[in-house]
Chain A
Amino acid sequence: MNKIFEDMKTQAMPDESTVNALIESLPEKPRKRGIRFSHIAAAAAAALSMLTITAGAVSDWTFSFLGDFSSAFGEKTEAYNIVESASYSNSASDMTFELVGVSADVNIFRVMLDIYPPEGTEFTEENKPCMNDNITFDFYLLNAHKGYGASGRFDVLSDTPQKMRVMWTYSCSAGIEDREIEFVAKKMTRTKDENAVNTDGNSIITDNEGSVIKTEEIWYTRIKTGSAPQKVKYEPGGQAIDLDRLPDSDERCRIFVTSAEIGSMSVKLNGLIRGDLVWRDSTFTAVKTDGTPVGLIFSGGSTIGGEPSSGLKDGDIILLFDDIVDPADIASVTINGTELVFK
């Protein structure tokens, strides 16, 4: 080692008093706490988490890992993502899914998902997990009143019970807040039953063959986040939402306003449930009170974590306007031509 570095390393040590204070203060019992948040610094940052999954042993089941993540970071006011590329590679040692995009402020963000076999083993053709293209990865940036953030999900299906290790890395030149992850492990099975019962009340996912994945148990991680948006401003409702793929729409809908200043809004559709991707096929429009249409930079993304950084709930859809718009000026929002009526 370079002598000067060696000398610096010698100096870069905590005082003995600091060490002793730490050792003497080691708690004997866990401190009470809920989910702990780790706020990661500005500049390029990476959030890492690793999870070992052990799937069950029923051969005709498809096992799935769902990872929800969301982050809020920076003090930005606008950020809309443009997905530049997505790639997927698969090898015996690992499989990687990578998505690269550019946000409106020309920050490059990158999401990587690495899936490894158990240590000391390799995937084989028989046990290699596969990505379900249809529902693999949703990623979007969203505006939250504290800044902007990202939220996403990934979903790995494997036909063979096995262990796998999953690591996801999210990095962005603007920095992020990382969150300690609450792991909730469940198990998922695929079925052709179109009337699959949503046993846990919040998850039905359609696979790329059109089959409904019946949720009995789902493996997923949840990252609790805390940068809640502004409170609900509108409580609209009264009009049925008739969307072909909306499994259980009812008579009401609600509009949530995430942030008046930054021109974003989210739409809550009752009956739209976590994992449902109806928004992919939907067309959203918004019109201001003066009749002017509002451009939508991005729309979509039913939330999946329950409590992503925006504080949105399952079924929420985010609309990002292409201008600074006060949601009070939004007269109407339509979905596939169906107007959501504000109360």
Chain B
Amino acid sequence: MRDASETEKAVRLYAGTVYGIALSHTGSKADADDVFQETFLAFHSSAKVFHDDEHIKAWLIRTAVNMSRRAVCGKHRRAEELDENMPGGRFEFAADEQNDIADAIRALPEKYRAVIWLHYFEDMPVKDIAKALGARESTIRSQLMRGRERLKELLGKDWFEDE
């Protein structure tokens, strides 16, 4: 069991990263809240020794991705989908085009979502994403490229052109 202050510090540092991953997968505020809390509770309960903050971040990212998958899977398994209009349903961004982008990301094959989110929204370089997700850099590059192509098809515009 980790010291609460250590967990709180991690929450303060990486809440956005974890929540963003959760939202990019689930699209639901309620589910993202769950993933967010489950991820940090897992961190709190874990006896894993971390070398530094980057190590913690990588672990949280991987755990958040896994938790998100689980959340999506559980949702898909329910006989009836939750009504997105229910409270806690679909997360609404402020602008329509932002919602379109979020929807498009969620429409991607799952393996592209976290990669796209981490690279374009978290500004993480390929190398760091590869390390966090336990994949090869070449795999991440390939996923970024394919994800971007899909998004371009879905959105009719390449929002994700590297600057």
List which B47-86 residues lie within 8 A (CB) of chain A: 62, 66-74, 76-77
* Residues on A with beta carbons closer than 8 Å to the beta carbon of B72: 41-43
In the complex, which of the residues B69, B101, B160 contacts A8, with contact meaning CB atoms closer than 8 Å? Answer: B101
Say yes or no: A11 contacts B111, CB within 8 Å. Answer: no
* Residues on B with beta carbons closer than 8 Å to the beta carbon of A77: none
Contacts known (A27-B44, A40-B66, A41-B70); A4 close to B159, Cβ less than 8 A? yes
Say yes or no: B111 contacts A43, CB within 8 Å. Answer: yes
Say yes or no: A8 contacts B98, CB within 8 Å. Answer: yes
Say yes or no: B66 contacts A178, CB within 8 Å. Answer: yes
B125 contacts the other chain (CB 8 A) = no
A72–B66 Cα distance when bound, in Å, is: 15
A29 contacts the other chain (CB 8 A) = yes
* Residues on A with beta carbons closer than 8 Å to the beta carbon of B160: 2
Q: Which residue of A lies closest to B143 (CB)?
A: A44
A30–B160 Cα distance when bound, in Å, is: 43
Say yes or no: B19 contacts A12, CB within 8 Å. Answer: yes
Say yes or no: A18 contacts B33, CB within 8 Å. Answer: yes
Q: Which residue of A lies closest to B40 (CB)?
A: A22
Q: How many inter-chain contacts with C-beta < 8 Å in the A-B complex? A: 135
1/0 per residue, CB under 8 A from B, across A1-30: the answer is 110110111011111001101110011111
A31–B38 Cα distance when bound, in Å, is: 13
Say yes or no: A11 contacts B93, CB within 8 Å. Answer: yes
A13–B110 Cα distance when bound, in Å, is: 21
A13–B68 Cα distance when bound, in Å, is: 15
Contacts known (A4-B97, A4-B98); A41 close to B111, Cβ less than 8 A? no
Say yes or no: A18 contacts B70, CB within 8 Å. Answer: no
* Residues on A with beta carbons closer than 8 Å to the beta carbon of B109: 43-44, 173
For the complex formed, measure the closest distance between the CB of B138 and the CB atoms of chain A, giving whole angstroms. Answer: 12
Q: Which residue of A lies closest to B2 (CB)?
A: A26
A175–B163 Cα distance when bound, in Å, is: 33
A43–B72 Cα distance when bound, in Å, is: 10
B102 contacts the other chain (CB 8 A) = yes
A164 contacts the other chain (CB 8 A) = no
A14–B24 Cα distance when bound, in Å, is: 13
A13–B13 Cα distance when bound, in Å, is: 12
In the complex, which of the residues A40, A41, A167 contacts B134, with contact meaning CB atoms closer than 8 Å? Answer: A167
Contacts known (A18-B36, A38-B66, A42-B76); A28 close to B4, Cβ less than 8 A? yes
In the complex, which of the residues B19, B37, B67, B159 contacts A2, with contact meaning CB atoms closer than 8 Å? Answer: B159
In the complex, which of the residues B11, B20, B24, B70 contacts A39, with contact meaning CB atoms closer than 8 Å? Answer: B70
A169 contacts the other chain (CB 8 A) = yes
Seen from chain A, the residues whose Cβ lies within 8 Å of a Cβ on chain B are 1-2, 4-5, 7-9, 11-15, 18-19, 21-23, 26-31, 38-48, 50, 75, 167, 169, 171, 173, 175, 177-178
3 closest cross-chain pairs (CB), A and B = A41-B69, A43-B110, A41-B72
